[in-house]
A and B are shown apart, each in its own frame.
Chain A
């Protein structure tokens, strides 16, 4: 009898252990699957994108004189001329204007090759004219062809000439948008959270507000675009496509994230800190300002950074307010037309020329590194300053 009692539970125990093992295995499988997706995505992006960070350059003699200012592609020898990107030729008159000493001289320069040459050398396309291939091979054997760092990818704006296209204007646009989002949604978000968490009475009205805020955080972002178009552009007359319009629209999206995370951070501060402050005569506001807020600041900042990172990666609402457009000049103010990084990537992905495939992937890599940096900052902030009670 006593044997029966001990045997049955141990059998059941084994069964429960097995179930636990199985469950653990499922969880690990799910994790591995997610990891596999991530690895495939990253390696695909890196495989497609790494080549866009370098560009074929050709060493040629450029002649500056009356003739070549007019017929700019005659500034280099006829044989090499079709290999060089048009982005260089069209700047010749302005180069001379900026530096009149160039006139009637011949300069040896490393010039960016056309996208066709570049794609051919990188092995992506075989559409180069056989004659040009021969010329290119000869130049190569003379050591006049090499890869150079594609600084234009970071320091020039969008272009319809793939070898000249870069992310600069989108960088500046994203920066301005980020500033607007920060300036608008941080103070409003934190103030709202403080009121709801510290001052507001718990009644139907505040509950309704709370539910609505949580709901807003889950609203599809395209709807914020419609709202932005109707309110900021059509009603307030904010210029279409401007960083201000984009930033305000994205602020609507970021606000609930900041409110929710700020409230969580405030809630984590123990009640006795408030009571302690009030016990020695501090007002409610003094207790919050001098004790609760400083202690919850790491949590608030983490939430803000994550919210902003989300806003930087967003495109859908920007489509409606005209920021997904060809805007190669970096904006110099909040009200000028601007585009942002994900919008630039989207634009490139639709271009017919093959060279934009690598540019798209390179743009994605740059955007991802930016987001990883932001999110890592959030994690570091949290780990360094977080207090546990």
Chain B
């Protein structure tokens, strides 16, 4: 059993070689997509379809969150930066500036559909209808009482409004890092607090006394908890409600059921647009980028009869989808003025 030391030396040589080779490699024959975890299932489905039906290599889709995606996307132009970023909110002006500064000047913005944020409970509970004001009072850290803001005293829903059930307040929701949390704060709490006397300005701080439980990015866990704990509510994206209708149901918000049509038409109040941003400087460099975006916006995928609907995407109205396509065809350049307001 004699050790051949030469082999070991050879292996070390290979390792050094690998390192050196890596610096020069990275052929731009594979699309790189980053961004929102909400858009990720749709984006990766389109990627898969592209890989399975054409000779283009399946794009790599990484779920980094909307903010993380923007940071990578705006990091510069070149083979080691992503080609497309998905977002469950619009690009912020500060992110646009970062893009400009790093030379990412020619960006096309597209909306691909909507997502509803649901307030769900176990299927065995009685159906419930909540207003955004009531939800705000249930989750806010401070609520107005006798003219001043005090620590949230509500323990039961019936404490907020006697017409609500005598049921413990317990809400499983997204953590601060999540785009769903951003959207919830904006669409429910900002709106709710503006309609409640006593808040001077939009109030979006969530209570930390154990009534609101931040539950990680894994929405499946929240669904499981709702199935076990009948008192609890959960906050997550519409697709998880859609997939688990045998276990959970969505609460009506301001009297509107979380249904596909009602979210699409904008009647359901807690819905948001889903975006993706394309780096036009890469379109000619990276094989298949044009086909990918074409496919994402095609009738076969994004329309009302398209496949992404089965995965929980709420499609755009037909004329809107058409105009998104023509924006892409003309490679409409995103301007700072588009993002204001």
Chain A contacts to B: CB under 8 angstroms = 86-87, 90-91, 93-94, 125-127, 159-161, 180, 183-184, 186-188, 190-191, 236-242, 244-245, 248, 289-290, 293-294, 297, 322, 324-329, 334-337, 349-354, 357, 385
Check B22 against A187 for contact (C-beta < 8 Å). no
In the complex, given contacts A190-B8, A244-B22, A337-B60, what are 19 additional A-B residue pairs having Cβ atoms less than 8 angstroms apart?
A: A94-B53, A160-B41, A160-B48, A160-B311, A161-B48, A180-B15, A183-B12, A183-B15, A186-B8, A188-B12, A238-B23, A242-B22, A293-B3, A325-B62, A329-B57, A329-B58, A349-B220, A350-B219, A353-B243
A-B contacts, 12 of them at CB < 8 A, read A86-B307, A93-B53, A160-B44, A161-B48, A187-B15, A289-B3, A325-B62, A326-B61, A326-B62, A328-B58, A337-B30, A352-B220
Interface residue B40 (Cβ < 8 Å from any Cβ of A): yes
Check A238 against B8 for contact (C-beta < 8 Å). no
Interface residue B94 (Cβ < 8 Å from any Cβ of A): no
Check B52 against A126 for contact (C-beta < 8 Å). no
Interface residue B240 (Cβ < 8 Å from any Cβ of A): yes
How distant is B228 from chain A, measured CB to nearest CB, in Å?
A: 15
Q: A240-B80, A335-B26, A349-B218 are in contact. Are A326 and B47 (CB under 8 A)?
A: yes
* Chain A neighbourhood of B53, CB < 8 A: 90-91, 93-94
How distant is A314 from chain B, measured CB to nearest CB, in Å?
A: 18
Please measure, in the bound complex, the distance between the C-alpha atom of A357 and the C-alpha atom of B52, giving whole angstroms.
24
Q: A160-B41, A334-B18 are in contact. Are A325 and B246 (CB under 8 A)?
A: no
Interface residue B134 (Cβ < 8 Å from any Cβ of A): no
* Chain A neighbourhood of B14, CB < 8 A: 183
Chain B residue with the shortest CB-CB distance to A237: B23
Q: A289-B3, A289-B5 are in contact. Are A236 and B219 (CB under 8 A)?
A: no
Chain B contacts to A: CB under 8 angstroms = 1-3, 5, 8-9, 11-12, 14-15, 18-19, 21-23, 25-26, 30, 32, 37, 40-41, 44-45, 47-49, 51-53, 57-58, 60-63, 80, 217-220, 239-240, 242-246, 307, 311-312
Check B8 against A91 for contact (C-beta < 8 Å). no
* Chain B neighbourhood of A352, CB < 8 A: 41, 219-220, 239-240, 242-244, 312
Chain A residue with the shortest CB-CB distance to B312: A352
Please measure, in the bound complex, the distance between the C-alpha atom of A159 and the C-alpha atom of B61, giving whole angstroms.
12
* Chain B neighbourhood of A294, CB < 8 A: 1-3
Please measure, in the bound complex, the distance between the C-alpha atom of A159 and the C-alpha atom of B32, giving whole angstroms.
17
Chain B residue with the shortest CB-CB distance to A240: B80
How distant is A216 from chain B, measured CB to nearest CB, in Å?
A: 19
Check B18 against A244 for contact (C-beta < 8 Å). yes
Check A187 against B26 for contact (C-beta < 8 Å). no
Please measure, in the bound complex, the distance between the C-alpha atom of A289 and the C-alpha atom of B18, giving whole angstroms.
27
Please measure, in the bound complex, the distance between the C-alpha atom of A349 and the C-alpha atom of B8, giving whole angstroms.
40
Check B30 against A125 for contact (C-beta < 8 Å). no
* Chain A neighbourhood of B45, CB < 8 A: 160
* Chain B neighbourhood of A188, CB < 8 A: 12
* Chain B neighbourhood of A324, CB < 8 A: 62-63
Check A236 against B22 for contact (C-beta < 8 Å). yes
- Lowest 6 CB-CB distances: which A-B pairs, in order? A325-B62, A326-B44, A326-B61, A335-B25, A160-B45, A352-B243
* Chain A neighbourhood of B217, CB < 8 A: 350
How distant is B3 from chain A, measured CB to nearest CB, in Å?
A: 5
Check B1 against A297 for contact (C-beta < 8 Å). yes
Q: A93-B53, A125-B246 are in contact. Are A187 and B312 (CB under 8 A)?
A: no
* Chain A neighbourhood of B307, CB < 8 A: 86
Contact of A290 among B2, B30, B37, B41 (CB under 8 A): B2
* Chain B neighbourhood of A353, CB < 8 A: 243
Please measure, in the bound complex, the distance between the C-alpha atom of A160 and the C-alpha atom of B48, giving whole angstroms.
7
